[in-house]
Amino acid sequence: MMGRSILLGWLLLVFCLVAPALASDAKESAETPQVADVPIVVDVSPKEPVWVLGKDHELKVTIRHAANISTFFPIRLPLENFIQKEVFEQQETKPNGEIERVFTYVVTPIRFDVTVLPSVELSWVMRPETGEETLTGTRMVELGRVRVDGAYTGDGVPELGKPGPKGRSIVTRDDTRVFLVIAVGVGLAAVVLFLLLWLVLRRMVAVGERPPIPASEVALRELENLKARADKESVQNEEYVTRLSEILRVYLGSRYDVESVEATSTEILEWAEESPKRGLSVLVLRQMLYGMDLIKFAAHTTMADEIRHMHSEVGELVDKTRISPEEQAAQELQARAMIPTQVERAFALAVDLSVGCLVATPLFLLAAMKANVLLLSLGLGLFGLWMLLRDVLRRSPGKKAAGLEIIHGTIGAGVQRSTLRSVAGAGSRIARNVTLLPIITLLGEAFLAATDKGQRRAGDLMARCRVVRGRSGGEVVEQPLVWVLLAFDAVFFLVPFVWALTKLF
């Protein structure tokens, strides 16, 4: 039911976004400031020219005024359906003292149409020759109208890309640059995908699926290292007991998934009494913790025999409470159950892509209607930023809907229960999404996650984290709904994006 609600809501929002853009006729209106009475003459040439689609043409704006007047005219013109390539400015002082400024704009029409060019604002400042006040103002310059035509062949009404009248052919749009950009993008994406595959293969060969070292073996190894160091060096009793306490607390935390390193002795004992464990004697644990606290904090003097007795007691506790083969197998089975299916990961990704499309698609539509490359870049940038930071608040909307979360660790079948509850930090949650910034690598990352036993992609391996089911066990997701939602995401991202590209290049 949750998946259907998300899909219906997404369809409604997309309809509200796309329908007005396709149904409305974009009519622009501009307020024309009142033209001041100043001796400024503006001439635009050529008058109502006939230009050829895809060819370079010059539009000249000549401004003449007295020497005591300064004018300001934009270098880039707000021309839709044209590509402005170059601009040249020339200034000359006439024999009568007048200033003549000529702006030559080299533009290429990219739409087969009759276009009314927009009005452009000309600002001026007039410095009086006497002690009068300096005057400023603006006026609008009409650039006129342009007919974008072509060369035609055949008879009948000319259509873009088809034969036309009088033995000439219509000039079609030059899509060379579009295909060049797409080819470069695909090439870069292929290189990135190759590097990601290389990273995964290299890490699988170097690391493999090695299970973690059991907490009991780590603790016993640390006890041996501490004893060997004490035999070689002169270790103070307080330092020895402090290190002994650290080994015990780290072992309890790793073995039973509790916060024992920073907890007080009283808190650890309360946990032990509330949750009895096999082989863990609360009485023995109380004697060890309180005895160590007396030496660490109360500067209690003790003999070497007592220190060795504490050392052996910690070793016996670790040996009695070490994980059994049956318990190890049960934990591994539990760990495998926490790995989400491909459908669950795909559903989470589909919801996150929907949120990103809600941000990017309106900008793509505006970029297509306005032929504005900045809007297209802004849409891509916001989409990439969303994909990078979507997990910054612990879980993205997609993972929250699918009941998933991100934890530390890159280990495989031997994952421990404590690892399953170690939530990854914000830095790791952001770092795992860096590989998605090229956007097109989504396909490569999806392939890597689908082929990996633990559903891990290159970003997970790089950030040393993984996605698992939450404490609730994840949400039931219908597979057809996931593919439909992914298809909608692809359509409503790619169609406006490609449309904008065709309008810009």
Query: What tens digit of pLDDT does each residue of 223-246 get?
Result: 888 888 877 776 677 788 888 888
Q: Average the pLDDT over each of 202-206, 294-298, 376-380 and give the range with the smallest value.
A: 202-206
Structure-model confidence comparison of residues 64 and 114, the more confident one:
64
- Residue ranges of the alpha helices (H) in 150-257? 176-206, 215-232, 237-256
Q: Average the pLDDT over each of 11-20, 157-166, 174-183, 495-504 and give the range with the smallest value.
A: 157-166
Instruction: Answer for the pair 425, 406: CB distance below 8 angstroms, yes or no.
Output: no
What percentage of the chain has pLDDT greater than the value 70?
72
Highest-scoring range by mean pLDDT, 3-12, 17-26, 54-63: 54-63
pLDDT (0 to 100) of residue 103: 93
Q: Average the pLDDT over each of 27-31, 299-303, 315-319 and give the range with the smallest value.
A: 27-31
Q: Average the pLDDT over each of 256-260, 329-333, 362-366 and give the range with the smallest value.
A: 329-333
pLDDT (0 to 100) of residue 61: 93
Instruction: Answer for the pair 338, 406: CB distance below 8 angstroms, yes or no.
Output: no
Start-to-end CA distance of the chain, whole Å, equals 43
Instruction: Answer for the pair 367, 381: CB distance below 8 angstroms, yes or no.
Output: no
CB-based burial, 62-77: b 16+ in 10 Å, e otherwise:
ebbbeeebebebeeeb
pLDDT (0 to 100) of residue 386: 92
- Express each pLDDT in 66-77 by its tens digit: 888 889 999 888
CA gap 366, 379 in Å, rounded: 10
Given a cut of 70, whether residue 85 has pLDDT beyond it is yes
pLDDT (0 to 100) of residue 82: 81
Given a cut of 90, whether residue 102 has pLDDT beyond it is yes
pLDDT (0 to 100) of residue 378: 92
- Express each pLDDT in 380-433 by its tens digit: 899 989 988 999 888 899 988 888 888 876 444 334 444 444 678 888 888 888
Given a cut of 70, whether residue 204 has pLDDT beyond it is no
How many CA atoms does the CB half-sphere of 215 hold within 13 Å? Answer: 24
Q: What is the dihedral of CA 29, 34, 39, 45, to 10 degrees?
A: 10
pLDDT (0 to 100) of residue 163: 44
Q: Give the DSSP letter of residue 169.
A: B
Highest-scoring range by mean pLDDT, 29-43, 126-140, 281-295, 485-499: 485-499
pLDDT (0 to 100) of residue 383: 92
Given a cut of 60, whether residue 30 has pLDDT beyond it is no
pLDDT (0 to 100) of residue 136: 87
Q: Average the pLDDT over each of 112-116, 161-165, 289-293 and give the range with the smallest value.
A: 161-165
CA gap 462, 485 in Å, rounded: 28
160: left (phi over 0), alpha (psi -120 to 50) or beta: beta
State which CATH number among 1.10.3470, 1.10.155, 3.40.50, 2.60.40 fits the domain covering 40-149.
2.60.40
Helices (H) and strands (E) in the chain, counts: 16, 12
Instruction: Answer for the pair 295, 241: CB distance below 8 angstroms, yes or no.
Output: yes
Q: Average the pLDDT over each of 67-71, 109-113, 198-202, 374-378 and give the range with the smallest value.
A: 198-202
| pLDDT-derived band at 171, boundaries 50, 70, 90 | very low
Place of tokens 């149409």: 113
pLDDT (0 to 100) of residue 35: 41
H/E element, 55: none
Given a cut of 60, whether residue 28 has pLDDT beyond it is no
Beta-carbon contacts of 500 under 8 Å, excluding residues fewer than 6 positions away, are 364, 365, 367, 368, 375, 376
Given a cut of 60, whether residue 18 has pLDDT beyond it is no
What is the average pLDDT score of the chain?
76
Average pLDDT over residues 294-300: 73
Given a cut of 80, whether residue 320 has pLDDT beyond it is yes
- The 10 Å Cβ neighbour count of residue 484 is 14
Given a cut of 70, whether residue 219 has pLDDT beyond it is yes
What tokens were used for 363?
Answer: 């900008």
Average pLDDT over residues 136-141: 89
pLDDT (0 to 100) of residue 198: 56
Given a cut of 90, whether residue 63 has pLDDT beyond it is yes
pLDDT (0 to 100) of residue 364: 92
Structure-model confidence comparison of residues 367 and 198, the more confident one:
367
What tokens were used for 389?
Answer: 């930071």
Given a cut of 80, whether residue 3 has pLDDT beyond it is no
pLDDT (0 to 100) of residue 360: 92
What percentage of the chain has pLDDT greater than the value 90?
10
